[in-house]
Amino acid sequence: METHEAEANQVVVLGTGGTIAGTAADPGDNVGYQAAQLGVAQLVSAVPALAAVSLACEQVAQLDSKDMDFATWRQLAIRVAAHLAREDVAGVVITHGTDTLEETAYFLQRVLAPKKPVILTAAMRPATALQTDGPQNLLDAVAVAQDPQASGVLVVFAGVIHAAEQVRKAHSYRVDAFVSSDGARLGLVEEGQVRWVQGLGQARPGVGLEVLPTAAKDWPRVEILLNHVASDGRLVRALLAQSTDDKPGGLVVAGTGNGSLSQDLEAALREAQAQGVRVLRSTRCDAGPVTASADALPSAGALSPVKARVELILQLLNESKS
Distance CA 281, CA 250 (A): 11
Comparing 221 with 4, which gets the higher pLDDT?
221
How do residues 157-172 score in pLDDT, each as one tens digit? Answer: 999 999 999 899 999 9
Distance CA 97, CA 244 (A): 34
- Per-residue model confidence (pLDDT) at position 257: 96
Distance CA 130, CA 36 (A): 18
Q: Is 1 a residue whose pLDDT tops 50?
A: no
In contact, 97 and 65? CB cutoff 8 Å: yes
End-to-end CA separation in angstroms for the chain = 30
Which residues are marked as active site?
19
Q: Is 3 a residue whose pLDDT tops 70?
A: no
Burial of 284 (0-12, 13-18, 19+ CB in 10 A): middle
Q: Is 178 a residue whose pLDDT tops 90?
A: yes
Collapsed DSSP state (helix, strand, coil) of residue 90? strand
Strand 160-163 versus strand 193-196 pairing type: unpaired
Collapsed DSSP state (helix, strand, coil) of residue 63? strand
C-alpha angle 218/312/18, rounded to 5°? Answer: 75
Distance CA 162, CA 181 (A): 10
Average pLDDT over residues 240-259: 95
DSSP string, 145-165: HH-TT--EEEEEETTEEEETT
Average pLDDT over residues 172-201: 88
Distance CA 140, CA 138 (A): 5
Nearest 10 degrees: CA dihedral of 20, 25, 28, 31? Answer: -60
Single-letter residue type at 186: L
Distance CA 136, CA 73 (A): 25
The mean pLDDT of the chain is 94
Average pLDDT over residues 295-310: 96
Domains of the chain: 4-196 (3.40.50.1170), 220-321 (3.40.50.40)
* HSE-CB for 23 with a 13 A CA cutoff: 6
Q: Is 2 a residue whose pLDDT tops 80?
A: no
